[in-house]
Structures are given as structure tokens and as C-alpha cells.
Amino acid sequence: MTRSGQEHDDVLAAARLAAQRRKSREPVAGQGPGAQWPAAIPFEQLADYRSLERIREIGAAMDVQQPFFRLHDGHAASTSVINGREVLNFASYDYLGLNTDPRVSEAAKQAIDRYGVSPSGSRLVAGCRPVHDDLEAALARHYGLPAAMVFVSGHSTNASTIGYLMGENDLVLYDSLSHNSIQVGMKLSGAARRSFAHNDMEALETLLIENRAQFRNALIIVEGLYSMDGDIPPLDRLIALKRKYGCWLMVDEAHAIGCVGATGKGSFEACGINPADVDIWMGTLSKTLASTGGYIVGSLPLIDLLRAHASGYVYSVALAPALAASALRALEILAAEPARVRRLQDNCALFLRLSAQAGLDTGSAGPFAIVPVLVGDSLLAAKLSERLLMRGVNVLPVMFPVVPMQGARLRFFLSALHSELQIATAVATTVEELARLRSADFGRALPLAVFNL
């Protein structure tokens, strides 16, 4: 073909492409100017809202009150005041009792006096304060690693970190019981996702054998203390697998810090491993550390990358100075007073022992602050929580779809502040009320189909 002929064909092809694009932008019949566009769907007609309404209807039919959003009047420690009445409290993350410690409160008050209530900007713009650097240095020392960074939200810490580090050509392998923030981070990343059965290292290795070679980077994610089951991962085996198959390993210590290990350092202490063998340590400030926010600890390059690119850090306001100060003081008390950790773990061991003697099913929980009492049926769990509150014990249910259909439970959060009598009372009351509801066959007669929302 001559040069002029080739040019003619190129021009013709370009013209046809332009026509196709123009046509694709033309309004469809009935949707042009002046035409009636479909109305936005009312929120009450969305499928999720209809599901909520259906759950409410089922609860009302079974005389089960909505168990969430209970109002606490004052500090929620080993006891709390709900509806003007003092109750035993097993529904707070204050594992070591530091939320009501006057030293922590004073640190927050001094930070407000010095820096104000808000940092009034992101860390990159105007939000940096010395207390942020001090907290990050203390977190790095806690793990014996080079660097740390704090986020304004624990959920955002996971979502932003995973969402940035992983991409479309990467693979994330995660424990089936991983937290919602991990799930959100994986979706944001666009990476391929593979779930393995809880703490099943054989299943994880099978997935690695089948999938690892197809992807650029691979990340294994587990929790240091699982918030639904109260058990910990086999970190030594996870480290061996991540080395064998060339992966990064991320451990979410949100519930583990202060609760796991002889002095509450976390899952690395309990498992006897070097923290440097884990690539990414994540945690929150809202549990043991009596504050709000999240953190990442690891190598200097990791922290440099996240400080420059993690959206939840770059584009969010800095952690409030008072929250940074309270977390820092709580972390210092954790290091100085390991007896608090021993009291917490002794309390958990007592709860587990009394539950076993009474025939309650606590699953695979260890003595690490979180103890589920498995009851199976979701409505039964909600009604049991209601009955316990009436008898002065505040504990919340976890129900489908957060857990599997027959995996509903009451989730007891233990504290170093609980007394032996309070724990014994909670277990005995749970046994009595659960027996009453089961003797009435509560919830069992309801067809499972009603929950197929």
C-alpha cells in the first residue's frame, strides 16, 4: 500500500472511531433533555434498610429488645450506670483500667491546656505537635523496632495501610475471622484476596502453593488477639510460611497490646518471637491505651512510605493532642506496672474456669481479656443479653451476620478492675438465665429462613 493510501485508511479509521464515541454519548430515547429521568431510590427502599426492618419485626414478634446503643452515664469501668442503675460491666475495652486512672486524665488535661482541643490540621499541614512524636517513639520502643506512626482512627489505620501497600497485581491472604477494617482495606487495594480457615496453617500453605507464583507481592494478615473468639495466632508458623513463600506478614494487635504476653507487650511476647520478624505491626489506642486512634510500627522505609501515601494519614486531621498524651501515659503505665496484666489474665482464667465448671461454651478463648459464651441462636443471644441487663450484668451479643448463623454469642470483655465476686456473679447469672431461656425453647422454633435476608 502506498503512503497516501495508508494515510487515507488511518484517517478513515479515526473518523469511524470518533463517530462511535460520539454516538455512545448521544442521549438514549426517552432520556434526553426534557425527558423524565428515573427518581432516586428512597433510602427506606434499599435492600439493607429492608433487612434492618425485617430484623426489627422479628425481634418485636419474639419480644426481644434492641440490645445496642445502651447509654452509659459516666465512666464505664468494672461497673457502669445504665438507665440510672449501677450494673456490672463486661462490655468495655478498658482492659487494664487505665481509662479512669487519674494520671492518664491529667496527661490529657495538660495537653489541652498546652495545645488546645484540636490540632486544627493534618500532620503534613499544621497538625504536628511534640506529643505525637513522643507517642510514636514510645510505640517503636515497645516493639523494639525503628519507627512508628499514629492515625486518627484505628479502622482507617488498617484500611489505609492495606489499601496503599497492595495493588491489582498483588495477593492478600487473611484469616477468616479478620476484622472489618482489614476487609475494607483489601477491597480498596484491588488486590486478589484469599481467605483461610481460622488459625489453619495447612490451609494457608495450600493457598500459597496454589496462588503465590501468580502475583507480584503477597501479604498475610492475622490478628494478635481475635476479637470474636479470644484466641491468638501461631506466629512462629506464620513467620516460617511468610519466609518460605516470600510474603509480608501483618499482625493486627488492636486487642492484644496490654492483654497478651506476660507483661502485656502483645502476641510476639506470648509466642516468644522477635518483633522484627513481622513486617507490619498494627494496633489501636482505644483499648488498653485508653484513647482513640491507631498505629503502625515497622521499618523506617515502611513508615516513610505510609507517611507520604496512606490516605487516612495524609488527608485526615492529626490525632488530637489530648488523645496522644493519654495514650502515651497509658503506655508508660503499662510498662511500669505489669501487675495489672497479671490481674487481667488471672480474672480471665477465673472466668474460663467457672464457665467450664458450669457447662458454658467459651470456644477456643484463652485468658486474654475476651471471652465469648457461645449460645448459637441470634435471637437467643439478644434475649439473654436483655435478661442479664435486667439482673444487673451488662454484656452485649454478637449475632448473624457478624458471626455465622449458629455462631451467636455473648462477648465478655474482662478487666483488671473486676473482682472475683463480680466475675462469679456474671457467670452464675448467665448460667441461670440461659437455662431458663433454653427450657422455654426460646428461638429454636423460629425457622432459619427468616434470617435469610
Rounded to whole angstroms, how far apart are CA atoms 428 and 405? 26
Residue type, 232: I
Beta strand 280-284 pairing with 248-252: parallel
Rounded to whole angstroms, how far apart are CA atoms 93 and 380? 24
Comparing C-alpha atoms, which of 425, 424, 335, 409 is closest to residue 142? 335
Catalytic annotation, pick one of 153, 178, 189, 227: 227
> Which residues are within 8 A (CB) of 301 and not within 5 positions of it... i.e. 6 or more apart?
none
> Which residues are within 8 A (CB) of 65 and not within 5 positions of it... i.e. 6 or more apart?
59, 382, 386
Annotated active-site residue 255? The verdict is yes
For residue 208 the three cell numbers come to 500459597
**Cα–Cα separations (whole angstroms), residue 142 to 139, 193, 214:** 5, 31, 36
Query: What are all long-range contacts of 296-302, with beta carbons under 8 Å and residues at least 24 apart?
Result: 296/148, 296/149, 296/151, 296/157, 296/161, 297/139, 297/140, 297/142, 297/143, 297/145, 297/147, 297/148, 298/145, 298/146, 298/147, 298/148, 299/145, 299/146, 299/147, 300/146, 300/147, 302/147
Rounded to whole angstroms, how far apart are CA atoms 181 and 36? 40
Q: Does the bond joining 404 to the residue before it have cis omega, within 30 degrees of 0?
A: no
Rounded to whole angstroms, how far apart are CA atoms 331 and 142? 9
Annotated active-site residue 227? The verdict is yes
**What single-letter DSSP state applies at residue 446?**
S
Can you point out the beta strands (E) in 124-229?
147-151, 171-175, 192-196, 218-223
Rounded to whole angstroms, how far apart are CA atoms 178 and 174? 7
Annotated active-site residue 287? The verdict is yes
> Which residues are within 8 A (CB) of 175 and not within 5 positions of it... i.e. 6 or more apart?
195, 196, 198, 199, 221, 222, 223, 226, 233
Catalytic annotation, pick one of 255, 265, 383, 418: 255
Rounded to whole angstroms, how far apart are CA atoms 225 and 229? 8
Catalytic annotation, pick one of 179, 198, 265, 287: 287
Q: Which residues are catalytic?
A: 227, 255, 287
